[in-house]
Amino acid sequence: MGRAAESQNIGRHILLISDDPADRCLLEGALDELPDSQYDILHIESIEDACQLLSQQSFCTVLIDLDLADTLPVGSLPPALRSLTADLPVIALSNNADPEFAVEAIKHGAQDFLLRSETGHEQLYRVMRYAIERKKTERRLTWLAHFDALTELANRTLFTRRLDRSLLRHHRDKKGPAVVFLDLDGFKEVNDQFGHDAGDGLLKDVAQRLVGCVRASDTVARLGGDEFALLLDDASSFNAVISVAEKALASVAQPYRVVGQHVTISTSIGISMAPGGGETADELLKNADKALYRAKDSGKNTYQIYTDGMHSEMLQRLTLERDLRRALAREEFELFYQPIVDVETQTLLGAEALIRWYPGHGDCVVMPESFIGLAEETNLISSIGEWVFYTACSQAVAWRRAGLPAIRIGINLSARQFRGGGLTRMIRRTLDNVPVNASQIQLELTETMVMRDTLESSYILNELKAQGLKLAIDDFGTGYSSLSYLRDFPVDTLKIDRSFVRDMESNDDDAAITAAIIAMGHRLKKTIVAEGVETPGQLRILAEQGCDQVQGFLYSKPLRANDFAEFLGHHVSGNSPLIPRRLVAR
Ligand code: C2E
Ligand code: MG
Ligand code: MG
């Protein structure tokens, strides 16, 4: 309850519950004592009617005749009336002069007791004013015990009490509640720079914004200083809690007006969710606090979720998903290029574009195998895939404009991209915008991908071909065993998976497989590329078997675009120390 609600209860009407007409005269006389009376009287003769009225209308005070026939037990307010007047000053009137009777009336909820025979207008007026003031103070004290005076949000006591209640409610379904603990980043600087009044103003704004991030059934509290907490009572899943946390992050980060200036701050957030994140209010708050400190440690303006062992794997995934979602906007992806070399001539024919992720632009790299799967599950792959395609095509154009030879660029497609619809449209859009020669681009697909619905695949592949692109089957030999698709699909190149190349020097079976792939591929007029070539021995065997092209650490690891350009430049000038010409079996 905020202050607005608090003041709503204080109307200007006085309710008189009495069947004695003299009481009304007494009350009117008391009100006449006031030079400018702001009160009016509603006179009701039965408790029942009074209860109905109290439930519909607000009053500033209630006068009740305790001698009414239906007022039982002696001296006490009827229970229904008592609950309706819990927030109101009540003055009891009676003809009963027994002091015990008066005490009983006070004990049972009346603020004051007046003996009718001894009451004049003036006295009634005074008692009424006192009762109103006393009730106001009582109400204000109760409010202050549960709310924060500055922001009018719940305070820690009320937050904890509501959290306890929520835990009880959810005891059986074991779903939530969740605690979202916030601590503003850099609030001290605002206080230091603009003064405490300005700081207070900012805290009030933050409070309002946080209220806008949750549902009416949730609780927003200020726990002290610049610490806030949200109690999400019906948190159905971590995802739901995360979206509230993200909303809060975005909302707090909007600029504030502080003494005429724009100021921005952020917040760090720690999240705990029952039952894994704690089973009592105390545990949940403590664990959310621990997570909050991790959020501060990991650079602020972010959230962290408290994890026990049970949830950690799931949460790691969620965190990864969140970071991945932001990675594109923050330009954290980079394409590396790995040379593909002609076996016979040892000339550089092309490169495969391979994606890398540098979260937060730090030194730490995340390899595609750690995030492409998740990107596929969450359908982020379509936007990542579009970025890869666009970036690789633009790079090809940039190299050509820099006077470097127009080499072929291999671009990997993921299964979801292939089947998700919109692939050919995305490619057309990009090719319309980037002046790259389509035949310079080779899409790499896997066998499993194209074999799932061969009719659909055939349609898509033909459309891609019609746009002038080249097509390769990646990781060849590891997927579907039917080879009939090689006859039916318009594929140009087979890339032998590196698992066959790795042990081919010691394992005759592997060497036999590569030989078979090469022979078969050539009969079908496909170009054969061997992946993962690391040793001169592997290269020698592959050359003997007639493999057309190779790619692997023997030549080069995937390189940053600039390093690759240098590699390409050296190669054009015939001065390519990275290619071990002497190793080639002639
Ligand atoms: P891939 O398409 O088969 O790419 C070849 C992988 O083998 C690359 O791993 C490359 O770094 C690695 N490799 C190359 N030569 C050697 C070698 O001599 N020895 C060894 N041990 N490894 C070698 P990377 O970059 O980690 O990529 C892994 C996979 O991730 C790729 O396999 C591809 O399936 C996927 N991927 C990479 N970039 C993208 C992308 O932009 N989009 C999609 N959808 N998938 C991508
Ligand atoms: Mg590939
Ligand atoms: Mg491969």
pLDDT digits (tens, 9 = 90+) for 47-64: 888 888 888 888 888 999
DSSP state of 147: B
User: Is the Cβ atom of 412 under 6 angstroms away from ligand 1?
Assistant: yes
Alpha helices in 434-535 (DSSP H): 447-451, 454-466, 484-488, 498-502, 508-523
Nearest CA residue ID for atom 13, ligand 1 = 532
pLDDT digits (tens, 9 = 90+) for 336-356: 999 999 999 999 999 999 999
Nearest CA residue ID for atom 35, ligand 1 = 368
Ligand closest to the CA atom of residue 442: 2
pLDDT digits (tens, 9 = 90+) for 275-307: 888 889 999 999 999 999 988 887 889 999 987
Give the span between the Cα atoms of 511 and 327, in whole angstroms: 41
Q: Which domains does the chain have, with CATH numbers?
A: 3-145 (3.40.50.2300), 156-307 (3.30.70.270), 320-573 (3.20.20.450)
Distance 475 CA to ligand 1 centre (A): 10
User: Best mutation site among 377, 384, 412, 427 for ligand 1, i.e. most ligand atoms within 8 A of its Cβ?
Assistant: 412
pTM of the shown model: 0.60
553 Cα nearest atom in ligand 1: 18
Distance 435 CA to ligand 2 centre (A): 23
Coil vs helix vs strand at 45 = coil
Give the span between the Cα atoms of 522 and 201, in whole angstroms: 76
Task: Give residues with Cβ within 8 angstroms of 540, minimum separation 6.
Answer: 583, 585
Distance 481 CA to ligand 2 centre (A): 19
User: Is the Cβ atom of 534 under 6 angstroms away from ligand 1?
Assistant: yes
Query: Distance of CA 392 to CAs 32, 183, 398, 561, Å?
Result: 90, 42, 10, 10
Nearest CA residue ID for atom 45, ligand 1 = 412
pLDDT at 504 over 80: yes
Angle at which helix 238-253 crosses helix 196-211, to 10 degrees, equals 140
Per mean pLDDT, which range of 64-68, 262-266, 432-436 is the poorest?
A: 64-68
Residue type for position 205: D
Q: What are the start-end ranges of the E strands in 227-344?
A: 227-232, 256-258, 261-263, 266-273, 303-305, 333-342
Nearest CA residue ID for atom 34, ligand 1 = 412
Task: List beta partners, residue 420.
Answer: none
Nearest CA residue ID for atom 23, ligand 1 = 532
User: Is the Cβ atom of 386 under 6 angstroms away from ligand 1?
Assistant: no
Nearest CA residue ID for atom 20, ligand 1 = 532
pLDDT at 7 over 50: no
Nearest CA residue ID for atom 16, ligand 1 = 532
446 Cα nearest atom in ligand 1: 34
Angle at which helix 381-401 crosses helix 561-572, to 10 degrees, equals 30
How would you list the strands of the sheet with 90-94, edge to edge? 40-44, 13-17, 61-65, 90-94, 112-115
**What confidence category does residue 586 fall into, taking pLDDT thresholds of 50, 70 and 90?**
very low
Distance 572 CA to ligand 2 centre (A): 25
Instruction: Kindly give the pairing relationship between strand 493-496 and strand 470-476.
Output: parallel
Tokens of 444: 């790499």
375 Cα nearest atom in ligand 1: 44
